[in-house]
Structure 1
Amino acid sequence: MSTSVAHSFNKLLSQPKAISKSRATGEIEDGATKLRRMILVEGIPSADPTLRPRIWKILLRVNELPTDTYLHYVSRGPCQVREKIRNDTFRTLATDKGFKERVREDMLVRLLDAFVWRSHGFTYVQGMNVLAAPFLYTMPSEVEAFFCFSKFIEESCPLYVQPTLEGVHRGLKLLDRCLQFVDPELFGYLRSKNLSAEIYAFPSVLTLCACTPPLDQVLQLWDFLLAFGVHLNVLCVIAQLLLMRDEVMASASPMRLLRTFPPLEALPVIGIAVTLVRDLPTELYEELVKHPFEVQ
């Protein structure tokens, strides 16, 4: 990625600080819109490792990082569901050496304990460990990871972490409906094998594709999801299906292929997802937008 692109991002990122003093909401929104457009067109350049954490905090509107608040939650020790947390944390992105080198299990446990103590109507549920992982990997500090993760869960996808996983199951049903619309032949073939999204796409929807390596591609995909909405993950899963469509259609047992998706390739997946947005009926797309956070 060129130095000029990194410079453009840095120039844009320097604006919110000055803008926030004047409280010019319209200008803040304009800056965020430009940032989203740059993410879609250029991607976040890897040359400057400080860009992604700064951009994620802007997209999530995380402006305050009260360390004392986080330390207060941590000082309370193990939360009431610590055993459930520990049953999951040791296997979080277990095959990713880079993740394991940067993020220790105790950091993940501590963040999830603190999130439960924070409450706001949430407890720990399946998949939350994987959703926390990219924040701990990306952010310069555990405190920043905690507040970004908390804001993300509470505002972007609260229904995905209900005890019933309501948002996840709605997302899976919407995946079937969207696939039926965009590729009725592939949908029909999978259904002829008794394969619904609930069966083959549960991990990908539950974790917003963070379960599919490699991690650097997951982070690129999350740049897109944080910029434009986690609802688009459903279309990103469909995009992965379309990329392996020929193999799936030629397989007598497609579940063998779908049990483990091929390594993630963020750019083609994002490109297909953006195209699918244009193809979907307005009413179906509106349902898709609302499903992670709006109770039916």
Structure 2
Amino acid sequence: MSASQETTAHSFNRILNHTKSTSKPRATGEPDDGTRKLRRLILVDGIPSSVDSTLRPRIWKILLRVNDLSADRFLCYVARGPCEVREKIRNDTFRTLATDKGFKERVREDMLVRLLDAFVWRNHDRQESSQLGFTYVQGMNVLAAPFLYTMPSEVEAFYCFAKFIEECCPLYVQPTLEGVHRGLKLLDRCLKIVDPELYVHLRSKNLSAEIYAFPSVLTLCACTPPLDQVLQLWDFLLAFGVHLNVLCVIAQLLLMREDVMASPSPMRLLRTFPPLEALPVIGIAVTLVRDLPTELYDELVRHPYELLE
């Protein structure tokens, strides 16, 4: 444990002690001063969770503006038993982050099933009042995994996951995966601007983002181990927006650019991305923002949640 990490942990705690989570809707949800300070610290220093394991869950709840933690309501959903798509859920949950021993030790399959069942029941009740409907779709099990791993309780994981899905990336979990496919098209457009040579090389091999980047966009990079790096990347995405995941995938491409450019069959390399390194990926993603035209970046920001007219 370094002195600088202790200092950073102290800075986070000082901000957290003065910051109350708000639940302002997106349209008026400009971040308050405390949230802006949290974002700055996350970007500059990262969350020193090895020094204080309570920091990440507390920060995630503030970034997601999660106030309502009704255990009774969660237990009511659970008490209803299997939802209508339980079989579909069980087909995916057993293989969630299956190679990560630490995850398997902390998060049992029944916890994942319970959370996803409850989420489907929650939205079964809310369908008439919500513009978008939600049920269980492919990839949702992997998106739930970091919340169950990070949060101290299933109740907190459930409400953070629900807020995240319903507000941050609702189009990613529609039956058509509309947001995911829009993200993949945007990835191609962004790559063409930031690295035209790499873009042309991949297209010459008939490789579009739909072919090589689908898992990374679908799961917001949670499919690429190790998990501790995924959590660092998610600190950044929750602070600044899940739309930046598209640029984080491009950053991973740029880190393996030399090998991809030299390969006659790049898909062999792209089938399984190298182990995730959050800090360099975040650093590159932040610099890429400056290279994008304003109109394209604005489209990128809105693609996870705004319906096309």
Structure 2 length-normalised TM: 0.92
The whole-number CA distance in structure 2 between the counterparts of 1:164 and 1:234 is: 19
Aligned to 2:224: 212
* CA distance in 2 between partners of 1:95 and 1:51 (Å): 26
Q: Which amino acid aligns with 1:8?
A: S
Instruction: Tell me by how many angstroms 1:265 deviates.
Output: 0.1
Q: Which runs of 5+ in 1 are unaligned?
A: none
- Give the Cα separation in 1 of the matches to 2:298 and 2:162: 25
Q: Distance in 2 between matches of 1:277 and 1:27?
A: 20
Distance 1:84 1:26 in 2: 35
Assess if the C-alpha contact under 8 Å between 1:16 and 1:28 holds in 2. no
Identity, in percent, stands at 84
From 166, 170, 175, the counterpart of 2:182: 170
Q: Deviations over 1:51-91 (max 9, x none)?
A: 00000000000012000000000000000000000000000
Aligned partners of 1:86, 1:77: CA distance in 2, in Å? 13
Following TM superposition, by how much is the alpha carbon of 1:16 offset from its aligned partner in structure 2, in angstroms? 2.0
**2:50 matches 1:38:** no
Aligned to 2:101: 97
**CA deviation digits over 1:118-150, x for unaligned, max 9?**
014200000000000000000000000000000
Relative to 1, partners in 2 of residues 1:27 and 1:167: Cα closer, same or farther, differing over 3 Å? closer
The residue aligned with 1:112 is: 116
User: For residue 77 of structure 2, what is the aligned residue in structure 1?
Assistant: 73
SS in structure 1 of the partner of residue 206 of structure 2: coil
Paired with 2:29 and 2:58, the residues of 1 have a C-alpha distance of: 20
After the TM superposition, which residues 1-296 of structure 1 pair with which residues of structure 2 at under 5 Å, given as runs?
A: 2-17=5-20, 29-46=32-49, 47-119=51-123, 120=126, 121-296=133-308
Displacement of 1:2 after TM fit? 1.9
Partner Cα separation in structure 2 for residue 140 and residue 233 of structure 1:
26
Q: In 2, Cα distance between the equivalents of 1:165 and 1:81?
A: 17
Secondary structure at 1:123 match in 2: coil
- In the alignment, the residues of structure 1 paired with residue 272 and residue 143 of structure 2 have an alpha-carbon distance, to the nearest angstrom, of 19
Query: Alignment length, in residue pairs?
Result: 291
Q: Distance in 2 between matches of 1:32 and 1:204?
A: 27
What is the alpha-carbon distance in structure 2 between the residues aligned to residue 80 and residue 28 of structure 1? 38
Runs of 4+ in 1 over 2 A off after TM superposition: 25-28
The secondary structure found in structure 2 opposite 1:186 is: helix
Q: Distance in 2 between matches of 1:90 and 1:103?
A: 11
| Structure 2 counterpart SS, 1:14 | helix
Contact 1:159 1:166 in 2 (8 A): yes
C-alpha displacement of 1:104 = 0.0
Instruction: Provide the aligned C-alpha RMSD in A.
Output: 1.4
Partners of 1:232 and 1:28 in 2: CA distance: 18
Unmatched runs of 5 consecutive residues or more in structure 2: 23-27, 127-132
The residue identity in structure 1 corresponding to 2:85 is: V
Structure 2 Cα separation of the partners of residues 26 and 12 of structure 1: 19
* TM-aligned CA deviation for residue 212 of structure 1: 0.1
* Distance of aligned partners of 1:100 and 1:26 in 2 relative to their CA distance in 1, 3 Å threshold: closer
Distance 1:223 1:131 in 2: 14
Q: Report the CA distance between 1:26 and its aligned residue.
A: 10
